Copies of this chain bind each other. A is one copy, B any other.
Amino acid sequence: MSQPALSPALANSPFMRACRREPNDVTPVWLMRQAGRYMPEYRELRAKVSFLELCKSPDLATEVTVTAAERLGVDAAILFADILLILEPIGFDLEFAKGEGPVIHNPIREAKDVDRVLPFDDPDSLDYVFKAVTSIRSALKPNLPLIGFAGAPFTLACYAIEGGGSRHYEKAKAFMYRDPGAFNVLMSRLVDATVIYLNMQAEAGAQVLQLFDSWVGTLGPDDYAQFVQPHMTRLFAELTPTAPAIHFGTDTNSLLELQRDAGGDVIGLDWRVDLAEAWDRLGPGVAVQGNLDPIILFGPESEVRARTRRVLDKAAGRPGHIFNLGHGILPHTPVDNVLALIDEVHSYRPR
């Protein structure tokens, strides 16, 4: 199987043009976690089904994805799923405990535990994801690109070792320092699984693939270069070349050049960096996604609009900017401010 050919409507969409660093009249915008708890429609559905049930129902995943994209009027939709889903078929016992976030009941704690990480040789176990992609693709407007995604291997490894969320990633990093060989094997297996997973999302109907390396910013540049970069380089090299890839992380000011060298057509920036300076460092060979602080959305609308323009000003004149937040929308974000942000991006013309 291979990826479906890109229709002209999709190929010419502002989002796909930006991924290819082609000029746009209007900057495309989408928001990480745009289908999420801040939205009443989402909360209503979640009152009836658990998070994992929602992820595992292609119909419901389609409903929340499409509802959010249409309600907001964004320039791309993103598959409703979770970065940890891939851990189930490769041997982890995953639970989304109510109010506590994800829990992995059989985390990796010793080198020998890595042996029980299975190859992802039964992709049918995540058939619900691929079905959701196909279903969302056919429900979306024909000119609206769909983003598939996965967690990047370092971030997945942190969860797999910590057994859940963490403040300092103490167990994961201690494992890495203590047993770099076993850590490398773990990372390799995660890359293998992720390549299959993402390429199958592309085959199922995703036009773009985003890697979320949400926790990688806990590493300094030497550690990234030693423990992460080679794996990310292989991962990007093995992704289908027909779908542009977005390489996202937070807290990555020290890592940007290393991330760019590892791969990705688009580099995600969080709000801690100045977009113009970061793009100067990255050079014109990549597109850039970002980078409004999600907490700005808790401020007054005038401030949301002013800060949105400030980000756009920093990108002005450079083809390949995709507007986004620097991280996902937070649960209590006012919807009206989200709408104001999108209106501001779409109304903006560079001065």
Q: Mark the stretch among A2-10, A24-32, A297-305 that contacts chain B.
A: A297-305
Q: Mark the stretch among A41-49, A62-70, A109-117, A217-225 that contacts chain B.
A: A217-225
Q: Report A176 CB to chain B, min CB distance, Å.
A: 8
1/0 contact string of A310-351 vs chain B (CB within 8 Å): 100000000000000000001010000000000000000000
Contacts of A294 in B (CB 8 A): 168
Contacts of A173 in B (CB 8 A): 293, 295, 298
Contacts of A174 in B (CB 8 A): 295, 298-299
Residue A170 at the B interface, CB < 8 A?
Answer: yes
Residue A71 at the B interface, CB < 8 A?
Answer: no
Asked, given contacts A170-B330, A253-B254, A295-B168, whether A303 binds B272 with beta carbons under 8 Å apart, the answer is no
Assess the B170–A296 pair: CB atoms within 8 A.
no
Contacts of A217 in B (CB 8 A): 272
Size of A's binding interface in residues, CB under 8 A:
32
Q: Output the nearest chain B residue to A298 by Cβ-Cβ distance.
A: B174
Question: In chain A, residues 208-251, which have Cβ atoms closer than 8 Å to a Cβ of chain B?
Answer: 217-223, 251
Contacts of A293 in B (CB 8 A): 173, 220, 223
Residue A82 at the B interface, CB < 8 A?
Answer: no
Contacts of A105 in B (CB 8 A): none
Q: Output the nearest chain B residue to A177 by Cβ-Cβ distance.
A: B299
Given A177-B298, A218-B272, A253-B254, 20 more pairs with CB closer than 8 A: A168-B294, A169-B295, A170-B298, A170-B330, A173-B295, A174-B295, A174-B298, A174-B299, A177-B299, A178-B300, A219-B272, A220-B272, A220-B273, A221-B273, A223-B293, A251-B272, A253-B253, A253-B272, A254-B272, A254-B273
Q: Which residues of A contact B (CB under 8 A)?
A: 168-170, 173-174, 177-178, 217-223, 251, 253-254, 271-274, 293-296, 298-300, 303, 310, 330, 332
